[in-house]
Structure 1
Amino acid sequence: MNDKKMETNAARRARGRPRSWDDKSGQNTIKSLDRAMAVFEHLSTQSGVSLSALSEQTGESTATLYRILFTLETRGLVEFDQAEQLWHIGPGAFIVGARFLRRTSLVERARPILRNLMEETGETANLGVGQSHNVLFVSQVETHSNIRAFFPPGTLSPMHASGIGKALLAFMDPDVCEQIVSKGQRERFTEYTLCDAEDLSADLSQVRARGYSIDGEEKNVGMRCIAAPVFDHFGEAVAGVSVSGPTSRVALDKVEVLAEAVMAAADRLTAAIGGEVSSLQETPAEETL
């Protein structure tokens, strides 16, 4: 009986979880793989970088970097531009990312909602999810206008300088939000970027009060974005919906009307994925823009 039980337990472990599955110590980390993934993640934030520049940015030797990049290149995860002598993220990364997106119905269910939002507002509609301290844009429906915002799937943007990022920050666990807001130095992209922790916290309080965030030229001068959070069945903000466009069209006197459309779209997507509005949502307050 005991032998049979041992065989059953061994079979269960063989399915994918070893006995030490819950052990997160360094002995279960493949250091070379961890180093390669760190380089890969860093490269994904660049629009093209030389080997020497990548070495300076990561602190790795050029010899180590070349072995890592060559290995990733054989899998199509990175590629080398011979003419420019620059390394780029490769098509294999998109394929893997696309497979990840198929795990959830979020993107699929968002498409018609984003399309309707674009048609209703006349501006580009976006869907983003949180990734560490950044927003990862996973879907977009572009406006037909000549001047438009463009965040192709896979684009990363810092949370503090993003409409969707601030919507996610405002409605995440307060302790986690405080850790992110109070931690480190934030990059300044324009004169309007909220780099000071106190200023950012005050802005997030306004986001919670009214239910939507505003990126007022905080990442790109001349562009304004309005975003609202999407919640899962735990009431946690798992994504954000936004519209973005030039300040000449997304003018201050149009913000409230556009915000109503954005919040309605976010609510529809929340309902579509079986979500519930967060308990952090406050009664909307009157504000002067």
Structure 2
Amino acid sequence: MEAGNRRRGRPKGFGGAKPAGTIQALDRALDVLEVLADGDGLTLSELSGKLGQSVATMHRVLATLERRAFVEISADKQEWHVGAEAYRLGAAFLRRGNVVERSRSAMWTLMQETGETSNLGVEKDGSVLFVSQVETHETIRAFFPPGSLSPLHASGIGKALLSTFDPTRIERLFRGREFERFTTKTIGSLVQLSEDIEATRARGYAIDDEERTMGMRCVAAPILNVHGEAVAGISVSGPTHRLSDDKVREIGEHVRRGAATVSRLLGATKA
């Protein structure tokens, strides 16, 4: 079972006036990469339709990106995909704080202890960016592919990260923003979010109880660096029929200890 919804259609803001000082051809190439990153392969005509550009224009952009290995085409279906060079550059982001490498062992341990999928995410522009995952062998499982995004208020990792922020920072993040609703259980206001954050602090871990996807639960805790700042969140996700209330409490302790282990590896003294 896949948790979360992929973005569809045109990239946010595509087709409007570009800010002064930008390079149109570069903007167009980046739009192509964003759309390809969200899909499982698109034909030339599909890309052209999604981005509102002519087939000839899309062909030139793709040819340029292909020459630099940022995109590649499947010979059988003639579908375009993100290429190896895009992955190599993206990996530089993951190496920046070394948190991915430091977390890998703890994520494997969590998967083995709980039997469920373990995830790692960081905060980026007001959302959770998932950067690593260790999947369970169960047929029905949560799935957050690296590179996918989820709103802070509708994510276990997001709420775990928010629990380390001071009230002023939280209010600044959400002032004037709409709380997007994904299910009937999604948090819908700053007051409700603040109450959830207080509960998270008291427990030592956050719970996403079908707030992003019905039928799925997530338990998460923040990872701290040497300065005591939250640099990432680690979580365990799975279907509600396996994550009962008692199981969530048990997993919460595993996740909390896993986050503390990684925090100590990053130099935190109060993990």
Q: Same fold (TM over 0.5)?
A: yes
Residue 147 (structure 2) aligned to one of 144, 148, 154: 154
Q: Does 1:51 align with 2:51?
A: no
- Structure with larger Rg: 1
8 Å Cα contact 1:213-1:226 kept in structure 2: yes
Residue 190 (structure 2) aligned to one of 197, 217, 240: 197
Q: State the alpha-carbon separation in 1 of the partners of residues 176 and 34 from structure 2.
A: 21
Larger deviation, residues 195-204 vs 218-227 = 195-204
Q: Does 1:166 align with 2:159?
A: yes
Q: State the alpha-carbon separation in 2 of the partners of residues 277 and 44 from structure 1.
A: 38
8 Å Cα contact 2:32-2:47 kept in structure 1: no
8 Å Cα contact 1:228-1:262 kept in structure 2: yes
TM-score by length of 2: 0.77
Q: Does 1:74 align with 2:67?
A: yes
The alignment partner of 2:256 has SS state of helix
Structure 2 gaps of 5+ residues are: 1-19
Amino acid at match of 1:223: M
TM-score by length of 1: 0.73
Amino acid at match of 1:54: K
Q: State the alpha-carbon separation in 2 of the partners of residues 95 and 159 from structure 1.
A: 27
CA deviations on 1:189-235 (whole Å, 9 max, x unpaired) are 22222233332233223223322111111222111000000011222
Q: Does 1:141 align with 2:134?
A: yes
Q: State the alpha-carbon separation in 2 of the partners of residues 67 and 201 from structure 1.
A: 49
Count of paired positions: 250
Residue 229 (structure 1) aligned to one of 204, 222, 238: 222
Summarize the Cα distance change of 1:104–1:205 in structure 2 as closer, same or farther, 3 Å threshold: same
The alignment partner of 1:44 has SS state of helix
CA deviations on 1:237-269 (whole Å, 9 max, x unpaired) are 110010111111111122222111101100110
8 Å Cα contact 2:100-2:132 kept in structure 1: yes
Q: Does 1:248 align with 2:241?
A: yes
Q: Does 1:121 align with 2:114?
A: yes
Larger deviation, residues 101-110 vs 46-55 = 46-55
RMSD, aligned CA: 3.0
Residue 266 (structure 1) aligned to one of 241, 254, 259: 259
Identity value in percent: 51
Partner of 1:130: 123
CA deviations on 1:145-179 (whole Å, 9 max, x unpaired) are 33222223223222222111121123235433223
Amino acid at match of 2:246: D
Structure 1 gaps of 5+ residues are: 1-25, 279-289
8 Å Cα contact 1:211-1:228 kept in structure 2: yes
